[in-house]
Amino acid sequence: MMNDTSMMTDKLGANGDEFYNFLMDAHEGLSEEQSHALNARLVLMLANEVGNIDTLKSVIKTAVEFNHE
């Protein structure tokens, strides 16, 4: 299982901005409901790519904790 520190490591490097911009462009022109649906699809597709339930649980836990800080 990943530790919480490894999840906070920047693995995209210089590509982080490119990914962010691509993600924001994907939401362009969508309603709030469509945007939420896109995010849900992305989460499920990326979870399938990760494919490890322990890693996924750890990522969710870290995201929840990060949101409460």
Assigned domain for 25 exists: no
Q: What pLDDT, on a 0 to 100 scale, did the predictor assign at position 39?
A: 97
pLDDT bin (cut points 50, 70, 90) of residue 67 is confident
The secondary structure of 3-48 as a DSSP string is: -HHHHTS-SSTTHHHHHHHHHHHHHTT--HHHHHHHHHHHHHHHHH
Q: Would you say residue 38 lies in a domain?
A: yes
Estimate the crossing angle of helix 32-50 against helix 15-27, to 10 degrees: 140
Whether 57 is covered by a domain: the verdict is: yes
Instruction: Provide the residue range defining the domain that includes 66.
Output: 32-69
pTM: 0.75
The total number of structural domains that make up the chain: 1
Q: State the Cα–Cα distance between residues 54 and 68, nearest whole angstrom.
A: 21
Examine residue 11 and state whether it is found in any structural domain, yes or no: no
Q: Residue 13 domain-assigned?
A: no
39 Cβ contact partners less than 8 Å away, ≥ 6 residues apart: none
- Classify 2 as helix, strand or coil: coil
Q: Is residue 43 part of a domain?
A: yes
Q: Does residue 68 carry a pLDDT above 70?
A: yes
